Amino acid sequence: MYRYDEFDHTLVAERVATFRRQVARRLSGDLSEDQFKPLRLMNGLYLQLHAYMLRVNIPYGCLSSRQLRQLAFIARRYDRNFGHFTTRQNIQYNWIKLDETPDVLAALAAVEMNAMQSSGNCVRNITADQFAGRAQDEIEDPRPWCELIRQWSILHPEFSYLPRKFKIAVSGAPQDRAAVKLHDVGLYLRPNGAGVIGFEVIVGGGQGRLPYVGHTIREWLAKEDLLSYLEAILRIYNLGGRRDNPQKARIKVQVNALGAEEFRRLVDEEWEQIRFTPQLTVPRAEIERITAYFADPAWEQLTDASATVARQRSADPAFDVWNRANVVAHRRPGYAIVNLSLKAPGIAPGDLTADQMDKVAELTDRFSLGELRVSHRQNLVFPDVQQVDLQALWQALQGVSLATPNIGTLTDIIACPGLDFCALANARAIPVAQDIGRHFTDVAALQDIGELTINISGCMNACGHHHVGHIGILGVEKNGLEFYQLTLGGSSGEDASLGDRLGRSISAAEVPVAIEAIVTRYKALREGEERFLDTYRRVGLEPFKEAVYGQNPPRRQAVA
């Protein structure tokens, strides 16, 4: 894992000191809320419905047990004993007091964390595959490149006042677990024809009101050109992105207005001018220095223990179910990757209490070499668990309600904070997720349904990524009542697609019933091991439309 050196420490410490001064000026009235707003946003502080919300970066999803303990401390001391993990590998605190914010930032800095650029019209937290460095299908570990991009993007003098926010994701595996194609810039580590690994560069993906799957503007980019090419993209966007309408200010609108070909031409033209400047060249020693932080941890010499695990599984059906859903193969013999579900029935997706954080930190040290990961699907990951420890870990996780065996199933729901917290929302998202979680509790039935993602957003801004859920749920408001619009067929993977609208919106109470109807129809239609998404792509919308609205259209009944 990356560790700050003197330069990183100084930079973050200076930001904390600056923000402390700015908060003091705000509290004394020297700064108006209007003047203070850009300053707090650069430090991750939002003003929400009820209080200030602080969004903290977890760079490319990597977290140490020490950092998690500090997050628990912050939740207890400065918030209401919990934190919320987001779809961009951040953690949010919902009840922060303005005058205490500098102390929170100082507490974060003490464990090499920060909230810089987690909001505002700048380059946000760099995200990555949560299994980076551990996945069997990985071509190359994306984390060193994420760290390089992180440093290049932090306090960039030229790109801190972009037309709109800018999100970058990186994956080093063919299976995309990081929603790369739905980012402003997405990068896949890929070999070229000669077997040399570089980056496929995708631009203009995004969700929100105008969802787009990104366009590949470069099939292969040499690694040494990464920063100059990113700088060229950002420069073309900074100059040409729309600034007259915030709804149309993301790079996706620029790319689609110009056409991907023309956008590529502009980027290439700029890139040729800056490509070989020393300012954008990274010394080999620096790349090696960063890469060394992501060297393999102190794994033991083990042999594959699948046979032992298989015996334990056959003796304990519940352990078997958890293995099937939550345990992923590791590239190192004798080890496994373990998902910790933050989607227990009735829990707000992504929420973790301070006590749970402390317990997870303890288990991280005991079972996963002191490091864990945060996924964009709002779950946690232990990257380095010995197979022989799986059963003990499973038992320990049950004690803190983190062993729900539902990863990748329909109760592993992504949801935004919705109207319960967010000033922008039209409808609640968390209670809908909770209702679905309570409706589908039979783990055997969930596993029979198989891979099926449900994503819920409380408004068109799509923070719950509803466009790319296999089933998407969008909260809308009609005459003061909350309704929900379903979409089918979205995907955030390497086969990324946007969902299709099923039909008229339904009430919150009808949502679990409609999901049940969709699932029942899928089970009747699926061929062999076909996933829901594949069945949908084969048969289309009609059978599901009929299943939900069919002969027996659901009653209009909304929750006030």
Per CB under 8 A, residues contacting another protein are 3, 5, 7-8, 10-11, 14, 17-18, 21-22, 35, 38-39, 121, 151-152, 154-163, 235, 238-239, 243, 273, 278-280, 282-283, 285-286, 288-290, 292-293, 295
Helix (H), strand (E), coil (C) string for 37-68: HHHHHCCCEEECCCCEEEEEECHHHEEEHHHH
| Shortest Å distance, C-beta 268 to another protein | 16
| Shortest Å distance, C-beta 111 to another protein | 16
Environment class of 361 (CB within 10 Å of its CB; exposed 0-12, middle 13-18, buried 19+)? buried
Lay out the sheet containing 52-57: strands in order across: 45-47, 52-57, 90-96, 82-85, 351-353
| Shortest Å distance, C-beta 379 to another protein | 28
Which of 151/409 has CB closer to another protein? Answer: 151
Which of 118/312 has CB closer to another protein? Answer: 118
**CA dihedral defined by 534, 535, 539, 545, rounded to 10 degrees?**
-110
Distance (Å, whole) CA 1 – CA 66: 12
| Shortest Å distance, C-beta 286 to another protein | 5
Which of 192/247 has CB closer to another protein? Answer: 247
Contact between 466 and 455 (Cβ < 8 Å): yes
| Shortest Å distance, C-beta 23 to another protein | 13
**CA dihedral defined by 394, 334, 176, 441, rounded to 10 degrees?**
-20
DSSP, res 466: G
| Shortest Å distance, C-beta 278 to another protein | 7
Task: Name residue, tokens 């380059």.
Answer: 123
Which of 66/156 has CB closer to another protein? Answer: 156
Which of 240/334 has CB closer to another protein? Answer: 240
Which of 117/406 has CB closer to another protein? Answer: 117
| Shortest Å distance, C-beta 336 to another protein | 25
Beta strands 90-96; 52-57: pairing state: antiparallel
Contact between 44 and 119 (Cβ < 8 Å): yes
Percent of the chain that is helix, strand, coil (3-state, to 5): 40, 20, 40
Q: For residue 83, what is the enclosing H or E element?
A: strand 82-85
Which of 39/357 has CB closer to another protein? Answer: 39
Beta strands 185-191; 168-171: pairing state: parallel
Task: Name residue, tokens 């592993």.
Answer: 412
Which of 254/434 has CB closer to another protein? Answer: 254
Distance (Å, whole) CA 168 – CA 166: 7
Indicate if the alpha-carbon torsion angle 304, 307, 308, 313 is positive or negative: positive
Contact between 42 and 120 (Cβ < 8 Å): yes
| Shortest Å distance, C-beta 206 to another protein | 19
Distance (Å, whole) CA 88 – CA 118: 10
Question: What does the chain come to in residues?
Answer: 560
| Shortest Å distance, C-beta 143 to another protein | 13
Q: Give the count of beta carbons closer than 10 Å to the beta carbon of residue 73.
A: 17
Q: Which tokens belong to 437? A: 């979680």
Which of 25/331 has CB closer to another protein? Answer: 25
Of 209, 124, 202, give the one whose Cα is nearest residue 167.
124
Which of 90/121 has CB closer to another protein? Answer: 121
| Shortest Å distance, C-beta 88 to another protein | 21
Contact between 417 and 425 (Cβ < 8 Å): yes
| Shortest Å distance, C-beta 185 to another protein | 17
Which of 7/195 has CB closer to another protein? Answer: 7
